[in-house]
C-alpha cells in the first residue's frame, strides 16, 4: 500500500493533552468565536478544524465533518516551517555551523558535471529565505508545476542541484519547494538523522507530540516541502511554544534568537501572503503583527504575538480550489480579543 494511503487509513489515536481555559478567562469574546464557527459551517465546506489558543491555553476548539482531535492532518507546505525550526535547533546545538553554510560544500557528493557553477554562491540562508535563484516556476497562488517532476525523480537532491541557477535572481525571493527540500537534506547530512527522527528527539518529544508522521523522499530524507502530518492540538502546542520564545513546559526547545530571525521580514514575499522570513510568512493583519505557517488547502498556524494568541486551521488538502480562512481572523477572531 502507498505510504500516504496507509497513513490516512491508520487507526484513530486518542486526543493529545493540552491545557484549556474558557475564552472569557483570557479576556476573549466567546460570541465572536462562535460567529467564526458559524461562518465555517456556512462558507467553508472543506474545513476540518479551528482551534484558538490564548495566554498558553486552548480556549476554543471545533471540528468539522468526521474529523476529531485524535486525527492527523496533512500540513502540506506548513511542513516548511518545521524544517526551519529544526534547522535553528541544529544550529543552536552546534550541528550546523550557521546560515552561512555553503550548500555546494555540504552536498558535494550530490553534484554532477551538469550542476551550475553558480551553486558555489549559495548558502543555507538562501534556502531559508527562498532566494537561491534556482530556475523555477511559481504561480500566483503558489502553484509549482515543477514539483511534479521533482517528485517523479528517483533522486530528489541531484535533481534540484542540476537545475540552472539564474545569477541575477540570487538574493531575490521566489517561492520554491526545491529550497525547502534541500534544507531537509542538509539537516540529515549535518546531524546524521532524517528530519522526522531529529524532530522526535529535539522538538516533538519535548512538546509531548507522540502521534505524527512524515513522508520520506526516495533517498530517505524527510520531505522538506510537504509530508508532515500532525493533530490540530499538537499544532496548537507548537503555537504556544513559539509565542513563548521557543520554550515549553519550562524548557527552552527552540533558540529564541532563531525565532527572532525567522519571524523577521528577511525578504519581500508576495502581497497575498506577506513578507518572508525563514520559511515563515509575516506581516500585519487588522493592525496586528502576525507570523504564519501556511499550507495548500488552508493548513495554517497563525501567531498573533501582541495578543498572545495562536490560531490553527486544518482543511481538506487534496483540492485545487479552496478558501483562505484569513478573513475569519480579520472579521471574528481578532475582534474577539482585548489587547
Ramachandran assignment for 227, one of left (phi > 0), alpha (psi -120 to 50 degrees), beta (any other): left
- pLDDT category of residue 141 using cuts at 50, 70 and 90: confident
The pLDDT of residue 201 is above 60: yes
Give the pLDDT confidence score for residue 14 in this predicted structure.
83
Cα 236 to its chain centre, rounded Å, is: 13
Task: Give the tens place of pLDDT for each residue, 56-92.
Answer: 999 999 999 999 999 999 999 999 999 999 999 999 9
User: Which run of H or E residues covers position 257?
Assistant: helix 256-262
DSSP one-letter string for 158-175: HHHHTS-B-GGGTTS---
Percent of the chain with pLDDT over 70: 96
- pTM for this structure? 0.95
Place of cell 508532515: 228
**Distance between terminal CA atoms of the chain?**
50
Q: How far apart, in whole angstroms, are the C-alpha atoms of residue 223 and residue 148?
A: 14
| pLDDT exceeds 90 at position 4 | no
Question: Phi, psi at residue 277, to the nearest 5°?
Answer: -105, -125
What's the pLDDT score for residue 56?
Answer: 98
Sketch out the chain's domains with CATH numbers.
3-76+194-336 (3.40.710.10), 81-190 (1.20.58)
List, for residues 89-127, the tens digit of each pLDDT value.
999 999 999 999 999 999 999 999 989 999 999 999 999
The three grid cell numbers given for residue 326, joined into one nine-digit string: 484569513
User: What integer pLDDT is reported at residue 12 of this predicted model?
Assistant: 61
Q: How confident is the model at residue 339 (pLDDT cuts 50, 70, 90)?
A: low
What is d(CA 53, CA 60) in angstroms, rounded to the nearest whole number? 7
Q: pLDDT digit string (tens) for 287-297?
A: 999 999 999 99
7 pLDDT exceeds 70?
no
Contacts of 155 (CB under 8 A, 6+ apart): 110, 218, 219
Q: Which residues of 304-326 are buried (b: 16+ CB within 10 A; e: fewer)?
A: beebbbbbbbbbbbeeeebbbbb
pLDDT at 338 over 90: no
In the predicted structure, residue 1 carries a pLDDT above the cut 70: no
DSSP state of 332: I
Q: What is the pLDDT of residue 13?
A: 73
Q: Indicate the average pLDDT of the chain.
A: 95
**Residue 284 burial (C-beta neighbours within 10 Å; 0-12, 13-18, 19+):** exposed
Q: Across residues 216-239, what is the average pLDDT?
A: 98
In the block, cell 516548511 appears at 80
The distance of Cα 254 from the centroid of its chain, to the nearest Å, equals 15
As a whole number, mean pLDDT of residues 305-332 equals 97
Mean pLDDT along residues 185-213 = 98
For strand 247-248 and strand 228-230, is the pairing parallel, antiparallel, or unpaired?
unpaired
Amino acid at each position: 500500500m502507498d505510504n500516504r494511503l496507509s497513513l490516512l487509513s491508520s487507526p484513530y489515536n486518542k486526543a493529545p493533552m493540552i491545557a484549556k481555559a474558557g475564552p472569557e478567562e483570557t479576556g476573549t469574546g466567546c460570541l465572536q468565536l462562535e460567529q467564526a464557527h458559524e461562518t465555517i459551517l456556512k462558507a467553508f465546506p472543506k474545513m476540518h478544524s479551528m482551534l484558538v489558543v490564548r495566554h498558553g491555553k486552548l480556549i476554543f476548539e471545533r471540528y468539522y465533518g468526521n474529523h476529531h482531535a485524535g486525527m492527523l492532518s496533512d500540513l502540506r507546505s506548513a511542513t516548511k516551517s518545521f524544517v526551519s525550526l529544526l534547522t535553528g535547533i541544529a544550529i543552536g546545538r552546534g550541528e550546523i555551523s550557521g546560515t552561512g553554510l555553503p550548500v555546494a560544500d555540504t552536498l558535494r557528493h550530490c553534484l554532477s558535471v551538469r550542476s551550475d557553477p553558480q551553486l558555489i554562491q549559495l548558502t543555507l540562508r538562501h534556502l531559508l529565505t527562498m532566494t537561491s535563484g534556482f530556475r523555477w516556476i511559481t504561480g500566483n497562488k503558489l502553484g509549482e508545476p515543477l514539483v511534479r517532476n521533482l517528485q517523479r525523480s528517483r533522486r530528489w537532491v541531484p535533481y534540484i542541484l542540476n537545475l540552472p541557477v539564474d545569477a541575477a535572481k540570487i538574493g531575490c525571493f521566489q517561492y520554491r519547494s526545491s529550497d525547502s527540500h534541500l534544507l531537509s537534506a542538509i539537516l540529515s547530512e549535518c546531524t546524521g538523522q532524517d528530519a522526522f527522527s531529529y524532530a522526535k528527539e529535539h522538538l516533538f518529544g519535548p512538546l509531548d507530540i507522540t502521534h505524527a508522521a512524515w513522508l520520506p523522499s526516495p533517498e530517505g530524507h524527510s520531505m522538506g516541502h510537504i509530508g508532515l502530518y500532525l493533530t490540530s492540538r499538537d499544532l496548537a502546542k507548537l503555537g504556544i511554544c513559539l509565542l513563548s520564545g521557543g520554550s515549553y513546559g519550562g524548557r527552552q526547545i527552540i533558540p529564541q534568537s532563531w525565532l527572532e530571525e525567522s519571524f523577521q521580514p528577511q525578504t519581500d514575499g508576495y502581497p497575498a501572503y506577506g513578507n518572508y522570513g525563514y520559511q515563515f510568512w509575516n506581516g500585519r493583519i487588522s493592525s496586528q503583527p502576525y507570523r504564519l505557517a501556511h499550507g495548500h488547502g488552508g493548513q495554517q498556524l497563525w501567531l498573533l504575538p501582541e495578543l498572545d494568541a495562536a490560531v490553527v486551521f486544518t482543511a481538506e488538502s487534496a483540492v485545487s480550489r479552496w478558501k483562505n480562512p484569513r478573513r475569519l481572523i480579520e472579521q471574528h477572531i481578532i475582534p474577539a480579543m482585548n489587547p
